[in-house]
A and B are shown apart, each in its own frame.
Chain A
Amino acid sequence: MTKLKLVDVNYTYSEGTPFRKDALRNINIEIEDNCITGLIGHTGCGKSTLVQLLNGLLFPTSGEVMFDGKNIKEKGYDLKTLRHKVGLVFQYPEYQLFEDTVYDDIAFGPKNMGLDKDEIDRRIREAALFVGLEERYFEVSPFDLSGGQKRRAAIAGIMAMDPDVLILDEPAAGLDPIGREEILGGIYSYQRKRKNAVVIVSHSMEDMARYSDKLIVMNGGEVFMQGNCREVFSETDKLLSVGLDVPQITKFMRELKSKGVDVRTDIFTVDEARAEILSKIGGRGNA
């Protein structure tokens, strides 16, 4: 089911001044339930602006943002509730921690929603489990955690609000490969259990190929391509033409094909590639 829908959205910064800048043009997208949507694009293509439109921190210069079929710009629309339902994790969320203990920090969002103590406690434990934050850290000051753990605590703070749509802006930026894997894996299992809508903003094609169901590719403030991973990554040339990459394994398969091995090139995970290559080898062996 469609949770969020953007219709003909444009966004311009500093309208009417010399610093005027078009950030988004003609955006038409839908964010669906039970689906991880990957939002990909270069730095400065409008990804971060777009996510702030989704929970009413910014409003489009023209066009409509609809949540559950209602225009959020309408008079009297309850933005506070919208922000409870659409959780947004900003880039480098660890810089927004402020409480005395990790536990209290994760509790900040749920507390603002006016939940009772037991419910808050239940949600905190659940969210911490998803991001892999052990309970022994609960009474520690968030400023004594390592960078990766701070990130987990901050993400747990939004997950504990149990939003219908969880948006994460570059959740794995600046982490080492193991940290990336753990954070993204945690988000993945969270979504698979909750079956809600998750939007991950990233510029790593590798990560997106692994974890997302649907992709939205942005370029220069416009939606450049959208569809499932196979549809998007099969158009390698189109992606490369605007300076975007494809997963390395896709490149590898293309290379293999250009060397004369007849394999499919719309492959974007290592497991799939392995199966494809094995089937080719096996096929030859049988002949």
Chain B
Amino acid sequence: MLKDITLGQFFPGRSFLHRIDPRTKIIAALLYIVAVFLCDSIMSFIILLAATLALIALSGVPVKIIVKGLKPLIFILAFTTIYNVFFYKGDHILVHWKFITIYLEGVVFALIMGLRIICLLTGSSVLMTYTTSPIMLTDGIERLLSPLNKIKAPVHEFAMMMSIALRFIPTLVEETDKIMCAQKARGADFSSGGLIKRARALIPVLVPLFISAFRRASDLAVAMECRCYRGGSGRTRMTKTHFGARDVILFTATVILGTVIVLSNIYFPIWMI
């Protein structure tokens, strides 16, 4: 059920990627995303695929888990691919039947788009969510954004809100599951009827869920105040992260990846799209 969604979940471990400073991973992920969009030729895609596989290997996250995490995206993937196959115009006609024309370019482009989405999600989630605990991730974001403190932006509060939100996703998912079961036991029906009927059927789930979310929030606020939480000013950290050799390696490797992709686009422009 809802519990089976693994995308965006932390996978505990001690791999190379797990031990890198979260700041480096965030920057590397951004560079990686740029690199994905720069890919414009078959050669650059081969390089990108190799880099993504290398990242998976370095993260120690089982491929099975990653594939499972992609499952919820099957609809988006299928839609993008099929859409491009039918509507992309090119010069080489592959199939022509009544009003449907499929071009060779369309098929290639569709495959590339699918691959691009898969690489984008796998790469960025392996770099960030799978290998970085939510606490570390928000810590990293907070420190990357800390220059904004100078213009009085509430960076710490923002990061704290984010980490609390992330922390409560699984809790709320579990709670939703429980409430749905309880209402099913009272004869509620979530899986039949039209759109409006189904939407109405969710009221018995959403009302208790909202109430319990507010209850939890108020409990948490009291608990934090009891432990003297007063916001960001003067707050120190339990774990201090430092840049090390690993960070330099990852950062350099990502920069090289981007450069190589750009160069391969220029020097091997095979199947340029």
Contacts and interface: CB of A to CB of B under 8 A. Distances in A.
A95 interface: yes
Interface in A37-52: 52
Q: State which size class the interface on B falls in.
A: 10 to 19
A158 B189 contact: no
A113 B187 contact: yes
Interface in A258-278: none
Given A95-B212, A98-B208, A83 B187 contact: yes
- What does DSSP make chain A's interface, helix, strand, loop or mixed? helix
Contact of A108 (B178, B179, B204, B211): B204
Interface in A53-99: 55, 57, 80, 83-84, 87-90, 93, 95-98
Interface residues of A, number: 23
B186 A98 contact: no
Given A96-B208, A98-B208, A112 B189 contact: yes
- Tell me if B's interface is mostly helix, strand, loop or mixed: helix
B167 interface: no
Interface string B177-210: 0110111111111000000000000011001100
A87 B185 CA distance: 7
A244 to B, nearest CB: 26
A88 B208 CA distance: 18
A247 interface: no
A105 to B, nearest CB: 9
A18 to B, nearest CB: 8
B187 A80 contact: yes
B208 A109 contact: no
B230 to A, nearest CB: 31
Contacts of B204: 96, 98, 108
Interface in B54-112: none
A223 interface: no
Contacts of B211: 95, 143
B62 to A, nearest CB: 8
Interface string B203-247: 110011001100000000000000000000000000000000000
7 contacts: A80-B189, A88-B182, A95-B211, A98-B207, A108-B187, A109-B187, A158-B185
Given A95-B179, A96-B179, 19 more contacts: A55-B185, A57-B181, A80-B189, A83-B184, A83-B186, A84-B187, A87-B185, A88-B182, A90-B181, A90-B182, A93-B182, A95-B212, A96-B183, A98-B203, A108-B187, A108-B204, A112-B189, A113-B187, A161-B187
Question: Considering the complex of A and B, which 9 residue pairs feature the smallest CB-CB distances, nearest first?
Answer: A112-B187, A98-B207, A88-B185, A109-B186, A96-B182, A90-B182, A98-B204, A57-B181, A98-B208
Interface of A: 52, 55, 57, 80, 83-84, 87-90, 93, 95-98, 108-109, 112-113, 143, 157-158, 161
